[in-house]
Structure 1
Amino acid sequence: MNEEMIHEPLSGILLTPEGHAALQQELEYLTTVKRPEIADRIRESQQHGEFSEDNSELDEVKFEQAMVENRIGELKAIFGNAHILEPDNIPTDRVGIGSLVTVEDLEFSDKFEVRIVSSIESDPSRDLLSNESPMGTALYGHAPGDSVVFDTPDGKKRYKIHTITR
């Protein structure tokens, strides 16, 4: 594996294949289901004369439409600047974007895995941590055997890195 490839990140937004697929599914849903559904609601209400100038439902539907269109725009911008991480570009000697890291909470001796991802696909409930989060920032660039310390709302946490895989 080329060491330069590992430590010189690709420019733009780095997405795991799973993160890319999830965002692609969201875009497809918004464009093929949600957008037409909102347009139908507006059209039906206008045909039945249910909307008046004072009607708050029209405002709600238009607000929802604006939110959907904004998210579609965001997703298209992400895809225009995104790179899907190839397995060979995910480092295993040091923590980087895409790395699956086994850590140990040194206070409680609990071991668990987290994957470091870009902020766009982070989901702490699924152990997908942003490289910009306190823990992600602390782990980033470190190697197996290293201990890291970072601040949390509950105080300082200290973790030891055991393994780094893809």
Structure 2
Amino acid sequence: MTAGPEPMSEVARSALNRELAALRTERANVAATLGDADEPGDRADQADELNRATEAERLDARIEEIEGRLREASAAGPPSTGTVGVGSTVRVRFGDGSESTVRIGELADADDPDLVTAASPLGRALLGHAAGDSVAYATPLGRTTAVILSVGSPDGGS
């Protein structure tokens, strides 16, 4: 990834907003079960209360992380068409001569076969490179190369 804020596709933004809504609902449910401090209960009750409080803290941390990422993506603007970044559409020629157009995203999406996550070996290799650059990356069958033919915007334009 680059040093600055990274743009985010609408698909990724939508997925994070759905996760955020689910986490807020879960957090509200956990908060409703946190007991009254005036009723100490037995040790099992105290341990259960501690577990719920720890779960609330975990949910709060994830909510804060997602909100921060959404703010960062809003400030980043659209991805560059000069170099590969999150949100870029990239035309590549692989070492075996085949060509493919992939989109670089943050979150995996089983319904999008053209999506390559920025954390994947190919995604990491492509980030920061421009058209004409050759990159090497690891595959289950060993190291291979790809040449970047073009870098475009999320709508597929160059």
Q: Please state which band the TM-score falls in when normalised by the shorter chain.
A: 0.5 to 0.7
Q: Given the two structures, how large is their TM-score scaled by the length of structure 2?
A: 0.65
Aligned-partner residue type, residue 58 of structure 1: E
- Matched with 1:12 is 5
CA shift digits 1:23-64 (9 cap, x unpaired): 222222222x11121123334xx6xx8963244433332222
CA shift digits 1:103-148 (9 cap, x unpaired): 34424x555443223xxx3327553421x654223223221x5432
CA RMSD of aligned residues (A): 3.6
> Could you say which structure has the greater relative contact order, defined with CA pairs below 8 angstroms and 6 or more residues apart?
2
Give 3-state SS (helix, strand or coil) of 1:114's partner.
strand
Task: Indicate how the Cα distance of structure 1 residues 124 and 139 shifts in structure 2: closer, same or farther if over 3 A, else same.
Answer: farther
Does 2:29 correspond to 1:37? yes
Number of residue pairs the alignment of both structures matches: 146
Instruction: Calculate percent identity across the aligned residue pairs.
Output: 26
Q: Are the counterparts in 2 of residues 90 and 97 from structure 1 also a CA contact under 8 Å?
A: no
Task: Indicate how the Cα distance of structure 1 residues 11 and 146 shifts in structure 2: closer, same or farther if over 3 A, else same.
Answer: closer
Partners of 2:84 and 2:5 in 1: how far apart?
A: 19
| 5+ long unaligned stretches in structure 2 | none
Partners of 1:122 and 1:13 in 2: how far apart?
A: 13
Greater fraction helix: 1
Q: Which of 60, 63, 68 is equivalent to 1:69?
A: 60
- Matched with 1:160 is 147
- Matched with 1:23 is 16
Q: Are the counterparts in 2 of residues 85 and 98 from structure 1 also a CA contact under 8 Å?
A: no
Q: Are the counterparts in 1 of residues 94 and 147 from structure 2 also a CA contact under 8 Å?
A: yes
Q: Are the counterparts in 1 of residues 130 and 151 from structure 2 also a CA contact under 8 Å?
A: no
Does 2:80 correspond to 1:81? no
Q: Are the counterparts in 1 of residues 116 and 122 from structure 2 also a CA contact under 8 Å?
A: no
- Matched with 2:42 is 52
Aligned-partner residue type, residue 26 of structure 2: K
Q: Given the two structures, how large is their TM-score scaled by the length of structure 1?
A: 0.63
